[in-house]
Structure 1
């Protein structure tokens, strides 16, 4: 092979390597986009509305595919966007078709039956009842959510948040990544079970 042919062959190999690298990078970007959009993503807790379950700064893994395959259940911790572009992390209290009410003593009622749960950090004070002081009827695809730190949470009790449509829910918080001392699954599901 002449020097000219060798040089042309090397140029072709370099071009092939560059194209291969660009295709590889494009595939990785596409795969990451698919995972973040459809499977799950990391999120950071901002604020204390979910104390004592979650703390400010906790890093969580949000499962975005599971709730599309299964119904959202009472006491699941869900992530959803609000109008200002932020995301809220709250616990599901009321399910579609139910009626939620909170009495003057801070008791939560679902369809006129007291809700047995132990997630709330404290008893809801009379000033934190919000619109749930009267019956809140949930639509066919609406959820009533609350923070575990009941007296320090902006949630479905207030018009600014209101009932959350299923289509707005991005996913379910299922795993704490950080801090390492609390690494592991997040308590979801029936609060009265051990």
Structure 2
């Protein structure tokens, strides 16, 4: 009888130990995962949620993904790169997703709807199509009751400094960018590129 009680007590202690071990294992996994996520989002990549239509058609409102932090640390942005940049807009710090158009020491301007870099017309046909531009101009007129004019609003010339970049949204009538707030400095870049993960049919690197 005493032998059976000892076996029962031993079994209970074993169950308790197994339960405690499970909790400790879960805690270890949770802590390690939290640290990995923290390191990932602060030093490797950071979540990006696209809000608004300034980067249509490249990035659309509601898309979610990650931008590469390490790429920004390892190399300077190049022309046409999609970037996440920290901007001071009227005293308020904001984070914008834009495209690099002008590089340090270049002259940027727009004449008759054509963007020029050092007096040479910039080819933006890889991401801006005529059909899309016409659609956005028609939409802008329907929403505001006035013509926007050229899809690329005339500006400049703007002479960039040694560490200044000119960034613009792809959807020019709906984008607030360097045309309004001026060039951004090299240390303003937060991330480079956006890996879209949602919606699933839009998965890919932009």
Root mean square deviation of aligned Cα:
3.0
Match of 2:149 among 101, 119, 125: 125
Please state whether the residue corresponding to 1:82 is helix, strand or coil. Answer: strand
Match of 1:57 among 56, 59, 62: 62
Unaligned runs of 5+ in 1: 1-5, 187-194
Residue 146 in structure 1 maps to residue 157 in structure 2: no
Q: TM-score, normalised by structure 1?
A: 0.76
Match of 1:114 among 96, 112, 121: 121
Structure 1 ranges of 4+ moved more than 6 A: 13-21
Aligned length: 177
Match of 2:85 in 1: 80
Structure-2 change in CA distance of 1:85 and 1:26 (3 Å): farther
Q: TM-score, normalised by structure 2?
A: 0.72
Moved more, 88-97 or 28-37: 28-37
Q: Which has the larger strand fraction?
A: 2
Q: Which has the larger helix fraction?
A: 2
Superimposed CA distance per residue, residues 17-75 of structure 1 (whole angstroms, 9 cap, x where no aligned partner): 87876665444333222211110022111000111111100112201111221231111
Moved more, 54-63 or 78-87: 78-87
Match of 2:102 in 1: 94
